Amino acid sequence: MIVLGVLPAAVLMFYIFKADKKEKEPVDLLAKLFLWGVCSTISAVILESIGDTILDIFFWNESLIYIILENFLVVALAEEFGKYFVVKKLAWKHPAFNYTFDAVVYAVFASLGFAALENVLYLTDADLTTAVMRGILAVPGHAIDAVFMGAYFGRAKRCEALNDNEGTKSNLSKALWIPVLTHGFYDFCLSVDSFLATIAFFVFEIVITIYAIRKVKQLSNEDTAIFAGEYPGAGPVREMFANGMMHFDPATGRPVMYSAKPAMNYDPMTGKPLNMPNSPQYGMNFDPMTGKPLNNGQNIQAQNMKMRYDPVTGEPIT
């Protein structure tokens, strides 16, 4: 039963690890996330016990309002907050967190650490049918919640790299509350003794599983570098973004629109000028290493060079 309890989590972690195509994450960091995810079950048990005690004071434990509050604001919030805390504490400032999909990997490993121990505890005195059902539904449910958490963590990290404080706060908030809502609805449907709730549960599971699988593929394919912190040319990039000279999707890093004369023609990783063919429609009016204006934007030979790379991701722009 211990093997059956851990196996679903191991399979899902391997799947997410393989989906991280750009740059694999350090094994020691992933091990820490998993183990601290296991430990987060302790905080969840404590918080759930406190929450249930408070609810018992004010509500009848079979009332609909009790069931809603217990599943969403006690169980789901206690468990997802523990996973959220682990990812934020261990991975947010880690130098390996330099691609958007990294956050999905971190969140899944932390969540499946929690799910693995929870599953083992459930199966200590259970039968094979229970083990199979939990392996199909419960453990993947934690992984699905983690995909949403990781997606918003990745967006928040990109916003932080752009000094977009509002975007950072908004996406960090969503990284917690979206998984709480999906987790809470899962538990709520199972807690209500109703045929309609059972139907809603299976429809929900089918839809959200398909959506999560597609989301993983999308996030993996659109995985782009974050460049958190300082790097050569970071200052001018942020200045261009703040002044509306450069526009792109902050979640993916893909260009949305550039002004008629985007002011950049250097390697965004090194800040060194790129040898590119002349193009009168593109220009450069500052030093890429210092961000200081060059010739007040005059159209000199050094300015007439075409930009071939996204300034945040370093990927070619066609």
Q: If 0-12 CB within 10 Å is exposed, 13-18 middle and 19+ buried, where does residue 84 land? A: buried
- For CA atoms 291, 156, 100, 34, the dihedral sign is positive
Report the pLDDT value the prediction gives residue 30, as an integer from 0 to 100. Answer: 97
Residue 46 near residue 173, CB atoms below 8 Å:
no
Instruction: Report pLDDT for 63.
Output: 92
- Residue range 171-199, pLDDT digits in tens: 999 999 999 999 999 999 999 989 999 99
Q: What is the pLDDT of residue 136?
A: 76
What's the pLDDT tens digit per position in 86-138? 999 999 999 899 899 999 999 999 999 999 998 888 777 767 677 667 777 78
Q: What is the pLDDT of residue 271?
A: 53
Tell me the average pLDDT across 200-220.
95
Which one has a higher pLDDT value, 205 or 279?
A: 205
At 35-69, the pLDDT tens digits run 999 999 999 999 999 999 999 999 998 899 999 99
254-312 residue pLDDT tens: 444 444 444 445 555 555 555 544 433 334 455 544 555 555 444 434 344 444 555 55
Q: Quick check: 240 pLDDT over 80? A: no
Q: Which residue has the higher pLDDT, 140 or 236?
A: 140
Tell me which of 129-138, 150-159, 233-242 is least confident: 233-242
